[in-house]
Amino acid sequence: MQFPIDLSKFDTKLALDPSKPKLTAEQKKALAANIQLFRDAIVLFTATGAARGVSGHTGGAYDTAPEVCILLALFNHSSKFYPVIFDEAGHRVATQYLLAALEGSIPAAHLLHYREANSKLPGHPELGLTPGVKFSSGRLGHM
**Which residue type occupies 21?**
P
DSSP assignment letter at 131: T
pLDDT at 51 exceeding the cut of 70? no
The C-alpha atoms of residue 32 and residue 26 are separated, in whole angstroms, by 10
The C-alpha atoms of residue 66 and residue 54 are separated, in whole angstroms, by 26
SS3 of residue 117 by DSSP: coil
CA angle 21, 88, 103 (to 5 degrees): 65
Instruction: Report the predicted TM-score, pTM, of the whole model to 2 decimal places.
Output: 0.89
SS3 of residue 34 by DSSP: helix
Once rounded to an integer, what is the mean pLDDT over residues 124-134?
Answer: 87
